[in-house]
Chain A
Amino acid sequence: MRAILISLFAAAAMSSVAFSQPVGAPRNLQQAPVSPLGRTPNAPTAKPPASGGAATLIQHGQLYTAGAAGTVNNGDVLIQGGKIVQVGPDLSPPDGAKIINVKGRPVTPGLMASWTQLGIDEVDLVAETNDTSANQKLDSAAFNVADAINPNSTLIPVARIAGVTRSLTAPVACGEVFCGTAAVIHLGNGPDLIVKRQAGVLVDLEPTGGEKQANSRPDIWAKFRETLEDAREYWAQRSGYHRPGGARDQRSIRIDLDALGPVIQGQEPLIVRADRASTIRQIVQYAQGANLKLILVGGGEAWEVAHDLAQAQVPVVMDPETNLPASFSDLGATLRNAARLDAAGVTVVFQPQSNDPSHYARTITQIAGNAVANGMRWDHALAAITRNPAQVWGIADSYGTLEPGKDADVVIWDGDPLNVTSAPTAVFIRGQSIPLVSRQTKLRDRYRDLKHKDPPFAYR
């Protein structure tokens, strides 16, 4: 079964994802709001939750803040107007506040699942529900997942009742080189889930075999370089582009060159999928020379290049369970990848289980737990699903830690959040309490008693 899926979705097989930045020296990926397009493409588009309103005080939690305060024993979190207002011991509740005494249970920021297709994929093999891929014959930087986000997707409640409150939603299959533009969404109440429309443009530098092998590495690099050169030339004389003779023939179409503007100007990340160490080394050098803001995705052999990645402050988005030589680009895959990158000072961000990071977005905690089991510090693993993705995807001003001023994405757990036996007992997204209900809980409840046949199942 899986083999068939795998062959059908070969292009989607991003066997892992990894990413890095020196701890303590986060690079602000959200600087430079002035857009060459004359607008601010990354301005938050989802309306902030209603301000004011009743406050909620979470009392007596074991707070894993993922922020400067680290872990706070017996701490409180005050939520009001969709924001975290105060964090600390013995907070006094405002009048009318709802008080939740969590009696020492763990409390974390809402988790972020990076590199999913949440919102653009319902059933992989049902084409009409699958908006994950651009026309694979063409390159496309302009293909933007934000145009397809479906707030009614059943995947969203499944993910959020497991504590996932944010997603970096990305395209899957690629054209020859460019795959499209990724977006950040929240998993709270709709209709508008988009937090950031343009979170970066994705490039796949790893040949994936089969028909795609028509594109060898030198082919990919030649097309990649030429497209970026086209974009630079286009942006240098954009107003003249449409005049006859105003520009030479470009390899790419105008909308793609437009989408690449913020990337070549170093304002939006170029997200590069690569596994082989030599490819990673090469793109790190190229990005430095071209002043690109680089994020590495996949990174099966990234640990071999950890020093270069740390020095260039390139984060790695990865699945730390990747340890098979799944291809000849992944021969060095090891369970130690995350811990080694982290120890070298690379900023690491985790992807949920990479064989289906959208339906299995809830595995993000298991993923982090396995990184810990293989040598990563627990608090660093938590950061890889909260603070680090917030920084890397440029939303750290509003999300990623339990700190005053952040959106109130807060999860209360019944045990160690990174252990497989634990689950949330309460989830808040942007201050709103999320019912722990999904299509799956409804199916479970419908069939929990098979002996009870009256009334028939359809009325339960």
Chain B
Amino acid sequence: MRWNSRTRLQRWLLWLVLCTCMFIASFVVAQDSAPIAPTLDLERIRQATVFILQARSIGDTLDITCFSSGTIVSRDGLILTNAHATIPSPACPGDELVVALTVTPEAPPIPRYRAVVIQSNPGLDLALLRIDRELDGRLIPEDALALPFVETDDSSTVALDDTITIVGYPGIANDPTAVQTATVVTFLAEPVGGERSWMKSSLEIPASMSGGGAYNRAGRLIAIPTTAPVSAARPGSTCVTLQDSNRDNLINADDTCIPVGGRISTLRPANFARPLIRAAQLGLELENLSERSVNTIAAAPQPNFRRLFFSPSVNEAGMPTQVIRTLPAGSTSLYLFFDYAGMTPETVFELRVTTDGIPNTTFSLSPVRWGGGARGIWYIGSTGQPYPNGDYEFTLLADGIPLESARLTVGGAPDTSPQFSDIIFGSINNEGNVSGNGFVLPVGPIANALFLYRNMTDGMSWAALWYYEGTEIARTETTWADGVSGTKDISIQEPNGLLPGTYRLELYIDDRLSTTADFTMAGAQQGVLPQVFFDSRFTSAETPAEAASTPAITTFSSGVNTTYTVFNWRSLLPGTLWTARWTVDGNLLFEQTIPWSQSTDGANYLYRLSGTRGIPDGTYALELYLGPLRLARTEARVGIGQLPIDPFAQTDGIQMRGQILDADTGAGIPGVSFILISELFSVADFLQRWDNDMVYALAVTDRIGRFQIDRPLSFDAPYSVYIAADGYLPIEADGVAIAPEDLPIDLTIYLTRG
């Protein structure tokens, strides 16, 4: 009996403990998932989120090779996603892209369409797809689709601690869209995108959500979750086998393994994607005719990193201001610099940061595709987020393999040791001062460097080492005799002229690297800026060969299909990184940073800009850069010189959907037309003419009577509605205005038989 009582008591206690645990757990879960911002049209966002399967066609079957999430960014079926899972590569060798959509809320996606890549930037790991076929391969006519889509927003307006909502598919097509709310914890900088190359979210999400979307409170796309799983062929990769790809009736290790990643918190800001979307919506295609024949990637050596060091800041040329070994307490800015070689666009790059041995996800970079060239100098770091005190270790990985690491201590007082910093390069002018733009010098016999020094003591040993294309060409080792602090200039001279190319200066104090910077020598002397690119012009021609000899054209007529852009160059060493930026009406259209592949001097570098529906009216410009410096610019007008406005390109407004039911039976009526009449007309006007030009949108109900207007309704515009169905009394209403505070409208309408 006593035993029974004790058992009952134990049972009650157990229940009590369980209930308490469940209560605490539910509280913790509720705390973790902060409420979704009320202005988000989550249903629309989830409908616009797609699951993309890359597949390889073998005979009449498709084998899945890679997958990612994606987001529809235009009503006619443009999808923004990652490049690594869509562009064919050794890691993702598929040749077909299948798009699966969320058809039923809270249900996994259903394959509906096929798509092709129409714009991409592998360095940024962004790709833009266009839905072009039904799943069965039938072509979809242009403008036939009216899909739910989202708009991008200016990601430069996102601030630290802003709340974001991340949407994507957490599994391999087995789950509905997942919605996660997080905050922005930091921005990571890289040379490819400046201070906001990456956003970091407070929440780690599954890697399969890569390619999806992160939204601000207004429900606009401001970033793309991005990670690239390490290729299944590499050690340390994780992958899943889904299909019997070798047709041996077994699914095992011999079948194709689809690479998957872990959990990620890295987001690519949407501003990098906007040029791709702009070019696609305008139907523009840019071909670099001079690079086509040499665009082959030689077999690269294994990736390697060396010369890792830290700098508290980066100058405008992407160079470190100084080299540090400790960082004072309260610092908010730190950059890791390193030299790299053997990197390819396929290489998966990762940075892991630990603080006192504990992984620090805030400053780490999830595995992503390499965004730089094959070799050079690179940095990654952040500004604005305080670095807590502690011992930091930064480890660089390539393809999942840790290669190099560097340590740094944060905390304590500012460093008062002797220091060089802030090197800039130029030429000595007539007054004896160093002049120039700082980082790109015209080819000549001398190059000067100006730098700051502080806390120096006369008699200290210091050294200046000059390198040309990675080879040491000059060294000065002497004792310091210039006082405690100030500026100093040094130079390198070559009576026969310094060769064009990339130079590096390293300054040491007591055999310790104190600061370093690279500069480029290219072009001829011409004022402050060297003349590297010249005679750039737009022209028109029947063939590329003719374009080289046709005169410059500054104004093209509307509807022109093709234009060429030509420029000449001098004293530019092959391998030097240069950038071509195309803009339309001042907005970036294309940007390409590549190593120079032509001879040192030459003429008629050629681009072809063409439009599938003709080049839209606008003012087009080509800008040519070396590093941060714009060295040449040419522009031309097409038509009126201003882009047309696309009324379908915006999602501002309210979404309208609903269900039409039979008043007698309560059943949905299929096939009923819901006609939304433009705010300029009344129902009476419409019934007089029945003109499609008066119709703002027309929707037809599905099998359960549901309909969806495929265009957002403008705020406060007095629309009219007419619902007509044979066998039922029509319904009409004028002055249907919607206020901004209205949530997505979901109507229920009853029709009476008559």
Q: Do A and B come from one complex?
A: no
B-binding residues in A (CB < 8 A): none
A-binding residues in B (CB < 8 A): none
